[in-house]
Chains A and B, each alone.
Chain A
Amino acid sequence: MGNEAPRKPNILVIGIGNAYRSDDAAGLIAARRIREQVSKCGSVIEHTGEGAALMELWKDAEPVIVIDAVRSGAAPGTISRFDAALRPLPASMFRDSTHVFGLAEAVELSRALKQLPRPLIVYGVEAQNLEAGTNLSPAIEFAIQTVVERVLQELSQSTPYSQT
């Protein structure tokens, strides 16, 4: 990545999470599975979700797809999809981050500084268990596979992104 002229797809997929926080690892695991598929035309990064570093990562990429575990009160495994370039992320959903300056804040700071990639798609996977541990809840395991498929499908249609 990084050699394409501007306006051509410069795909960046970021999986956010903590591998030692049970379902919080959902984004990391999804990213790992996606990496095998998109390594030739883009970057896939596993990340802790520290906001300033995210801003630096996505500054020159498009499209950008982020996958993170969320908690909104929905059923475990529920998948949400947002285009953060269009409107702010519901910050309360992304609060269970170890970072006070996390994804939702990074999106808004990028917007304030006019550095937001377009589009910036965020997939949220509703977590069930965020206690210390390395096991996934069954509903999350299933949801990860679904998110991987949806992201790959979205990327296969990525040409329109270059026109946004």
Chain B
Amino acid sequence: MSKQPTRTIKVDILARVEGEGGLYIKLKGDQVQDVKLKIYEPPRFFEALLRGRNFAEAPDITARICGICPVAYQMSAVHAMEDAFGVKVDGQLRALRRLLYCGEWIESHTLHVYMLHAPDFLGYQDVIQLAKDHPAVVQRALQLKKTGNEIVTLLGGREIHPINVRVGGFYKLPTRSEFAALAERLKWARDAALETVRFVASLPFPDFERDYIFVALRHPDEYPFNDGRLVSNGGLDIPISEYEANFVEEHVEHSNALHSVLKQHGAYFVGPLARYSLNFDRLSPLAQEAAREAGLAPVCRNPFKSIIVRSVEIVYACDEALRIIEQYERPEKPAIEIHPRAATGYGCTEAPRGILYHRYRLDEDGAILEAKIVPPTSQNQKTIEQDLGQFVPKFLKLPEEDLRWQCEQAVRNHDPCISCATHCLRVEIDRG
């Protein structure tokens, strides 16, 4: 070929992703030369802030990293501490932790499905335009999300940055009767979630699939929230404590968030698509049926269809929440006793966006000597960049504005929480 023009696609501030970051794509002819997702990173600040603090403070401090998934931070923190101190929370207390996680998944997924992702498929600039044409759809979204909030409020003590979680269990436990009204609303929510799956299944999806290395937790009996081994479709099957022996973080110049890679494989993919594809057989029968009716196979490699997978996970979360509530018997004590010791503990739980890894090194009094936090979005950065590298060449003939839109949508497929991986996103497409 003769001399090819270069072109840059820049999105200074990506709309409808949590937080702010930038995207820069450099093209030469129809070849993508460079894709950079540029983000900054608060977890490093929190890691420093945690040093010297008592172990008991970690759940509430780390919950502040993200307003969307505070429960995930609390859960990974408490599991890591309990691992260090050699205790295991079981029975109803463990079930309540799963219930709390159900609330967060319902809230977070509903927000992304309706407010952030659906407008892309329907050609609306945002959910406000969607609401003008389809107010009932948006009202359903708000009510569904609110049901998730109600779970978090009841169990977490308040809606945002729950304060009722502690190492060993909870501070205060709800009574069975407190769950009665919630259960009624959850039944409505489960129907609304099924309606949501039908709604998103009717959206138009680009024909785009990739051979991802999926990584998620896997548990012998459950769809994973808090517990399990780390597995991949590439043969990985390790306990959480071996995370750092298998995954390494690299600094790249264009991002303040470290890039994670799986040794010998490189980029990997965490989140709903990975969780679903590695754990379809652990979904409740109702959620499996909803997925099948929506045309989803047990493995989904089209990132645009993550909107269906999230909706299936909302069905599961409502279903699981109802199951837990029905079987709830209030334990005598809200928490098990904790005796600090000098040790290192590991925790990894399934945040709405994927695995969230915590490691703490503690002294004999339980003071934190070292903390390490790896949020899901920073683990997906490389995969997001690779998606764009393969996606953009298919759409080069599009006008600049439409191409930029498609790029933003390709990023939003991953529901990046840049406020977790970071705070402040901007898309540049460089055609020279």
Contact = CB atoms under 8 A, between A and B. Distances in A.
Nearest to B49: A20
B68 A96 contact: no
A7 interface: no
A112 B424 contact: no
Contacts of B67: 18, 48-50, 98-99
A132 interface: yes
A100 B67 CA distance: 11
B15 interface: yes
Contacts of A109: 127-128, 131, 138
Nearest to B420: A98
Interface string B65-104: 0111000000000000000000000000000000000000
Given A20-B42, A48-B161, A98 B66 contact: yes
Contact of B423 (A21, A100, A105, A108): A21
Given A19-B64, A100-B19, A109-B138, 17 more contacts: A21-B423, A48-B67, A56-B142, A95-B13, A98-B66, A98-B67, A99-B68, A100-B16, A105-B127, A109-B127, A112-B128, A112-B138, A113-B138, A130-B423, A130-B424, A132-B423, A133-B45
A112 B126 CA distance: 12
Interface of A: 18-21, 47-53, 55-56, 95-96, 98-101, 105, 108-109, 112-113, 130, 132-133
Given A52-B111, A99-B18, A132 B42 contact: yes
A108 B419 contact: no
Give 6 nearest A-B pairs by CB, closest first: A48-B67, A132-B45, A98-B419, A112-B131, A108-B128, A101-B115
B385 interface: no
B149 interface: yes
Nearest to B425: A100
Contacts of B161: 48
Contact of B111 (A18, A96, A101, A133): A101
Contacts of B142: 52, 55-56
Contacts, number: 81
A154 B341 CA distance: 54
Contacts of A113: 131, 135, 138-139
B159 interface: yes
Contacts of B19: 98, 100
A112 B18 CA distance: 22
Interface residues of B, number: 37
B116 interface: yes
A105 B125 CA distance: 12
Interface string B130-151: 0110010011011001100100
Given A100-B18, A100-B19, A53 B42 contact: no
A108 B128 CA distance: 6
Contacts of B145: 52
Interface of chain A, main secondary structure? loop
Interface centre among A49, A98, A105 (most CB of B within 10 A): A98
B42 A50 contact: no
A95 B20 contact: yes
B127 A101 contact: yes
Nearest to B419: A98
14 contacts: A20-B42, A20-B49, A47-B160, A48-B161, A50-B160, A98-B18, A99-B67, A101-B111, A109-B127, A109-B138, A112-B138, A132-B42, A132-B45, A132-B423
Nearest to B16: A100
Nearest to B423: A98
B46 interface: yes
Contacts of A98: 18-19, 66-67, 419, 423
Contacts of A96: 20, 424
A20 B45 contact: yes
B287 interface: no
Nearest to A50: B67
Interface string B25-69: 000000000000000001001100100000000000000101110
Contacts of B42: 20, 132
A105 B139 contact: no
Contact of B64 (A18, A100, A133): A18
A1 B20 CA distance: 36
Contact of B159 (A51, A53, A99, A101): A53
